[in-house]
Structure 1
C-alpha cells in the first residue's frame, strides 16, 4: 500500500490532495485513535493507496508511516495493510519557474529544515523513476520536470519515501493544472515497488 501525506499548512499540498480525491474512487473512513491534526479523523482509501491529512508541514512529521493502516478493517475483517511506500505531496519553493520535481528526504549535514543532523530516511529509487516519468507525461505546457538532491527532513519516516512537489511559487501552488499533473503522477505509482531488483551482469 502507498501512503500519501497531505499538509494543511501547505496550499499546494492541499490542492494536490483535492485532485487526488477527485481522480480516484476513494472510500472515506474514520480513525478515532488519533487527533485530526495528526492524521486521524477522516481519511481516505482506494485500491493500493491511503491518504491522510496533517496540520504540520511535511518536514516536521517524523515517523509518518506509523499513522497509516489503522482505523477499521477491510470488508473481509482483515487488518488494514501497512504502507510499503510513502509520498509527501508538497510545494516546491525556489527561483526555478514552473516545475514538477521529486526528491528523497533527510539531511546530509545540519538539520536546518526538519529532521536531524546527518539523518537520512530510506530512499525509493524505483518509485522515484516512475514518478518522474509521470511528471514528464502529465506536465502542463510551460512546466519543467526535475529532480533534487535530499535537502530537508523528515529524517525518520518508517518506510521508503519521497516528496512529489509542485513549484515554484504561489502562482503555481494555486494552479489546478499543475496540481492535477502531480496527482496523476502519484496515482501512477500504484503497484510500484520502492526498489528495483538487483541484477548481476556477467
Structure 2
C-alpha cells in the first residue's frame, strides 16, 4: 500500500496545469481549501517551480498531509522536440544542479514508477514515446518516495489535452508494485535498455544514471543510490560506459554488496511481468 498520494502541480508550468485540470475532470474531488481530495489522493497546486521547492514535506505537514508518495506533475523539455510521456526520480549526481542540492538524491519509488510507465503504455496518445529518464534535478531534500510524471517536449505537447489525460489517468491508477528494485548505469538520458527491461521483465528501477553522469559516481554516491532505491541488483549498459567507469562502478557495487546482472540474467531470473 502506498498510502496517501500527494500530487503536486505548479501554476508556472503549462503541462503541470494541464495534468492537474485533467485529474480534476476524471474524478470527483472535494475542496479542502489548501488542496483537493479524492480517495487516497490529494492534489496541491503551488505558485513556485517544482524543481526549486525546498522543505516541501514540512509544507505538506502544515496542510495536514502525510504522503506515502509524492508525484510531481510536470513538463519535460528537450531540444529534439520529440513528443514524450515520461517519468523519473529527482536527484543530482554531481555538483552541477538545476534545482535541489548538489550530490543529493531523493528517495526513489521503483514500484510506483514502473506502475506509472506501464499505465501509460496501455492507452498512449498517438505519436508519443513512453520512457523513463535518468535521475536529474530537484527537489532533492525528500525522505518521502517521489517521482516526476511529465509531458514533453514542447509547448504543443504541454498543452495537449490527450497527453494531459493520459498522464492524469496513469497517476490515478498508480499501484505500489512489489518489484525487485535495480539501479542502472549508462545509456543516454532516456536509458533505452533500462526502459526495455522495466517494461519487459518483473524488475523496477530506482535511480538511473546516464553515461554523461558516470564521471560523478563514486562509492558514496552509488551507495546512496542503492539505499534510496532499496536496490537488490544493478544493471550496467556496458557498451555506453568507458572501461574506467565500468570498473569504478562495478567495484563500488561489489563493495556495498549489490549484485550486477546483465540483460539475459535479469530476463531469466525475473521473466516478463504478464
TM-score normalized by the length of structure 1: 0.82
Match of 1:86 in 2: 70
Match of 1:7 in 2: 10
Count of aligned positions: 179
The correspondence for 2:104, drawn from 112, 115, 119, is 119
SS in 2 for 1:145: strand
SS in 1 for 2:92: coil
CA RMSD of aligned residues (A): 2.0
Name the structure with the higher helix share.
2
CA deviations over 1:106-164 (Å, ceiling 9, x no partner): 10012421001100000000000000001111210111101101111111123000000
Residue 96 (structure 1) shift: 4.6
- Deviating above 6 A after TM superposition, structure 1's stretches of 4 or more consecutive aligned residues are none
Give the 3 Å change call, closer, same or farther, for CA 17–156 of structure 1 in structure 2.
Answer: same
The question of 1:156 aligning with 2:141 is answered yes
Match of 2:213 in 1: none
Q: Which has the higher contact order (CA 8 A, sep 6+)?
A: 1
CA deviations over 1:12-52 (Å, ceiling 9, x no partner): 0001100011111110012xxxxxxxxxxx31011011011
Give the 3 Å change call, closer, same or farther, for CA 119–22 of structure 1 in structure 2.
Answer: same
C-alpha contact 1:121 1:154 (8 A) present in aligned 2: yes
SS in 2 for 1:83: coil
The correspondence for 2:132, drawn from 147, 151, 161, is 147
**In 1: Cα distance, 2:101 partner to 2:178 partner:** 24
TM-score normalized by the length of structure 2: 0.61
SS in 2 for 1:131: helix
C-alpha contact 1:50 1:68 (8 A) present in aligned 2: no
Larger Rg: 2
> Tell me, which stretches of 5 or more residues in structure 1 are unaligned?
31-41, 72-79
SS in 2 for 1:183: helix
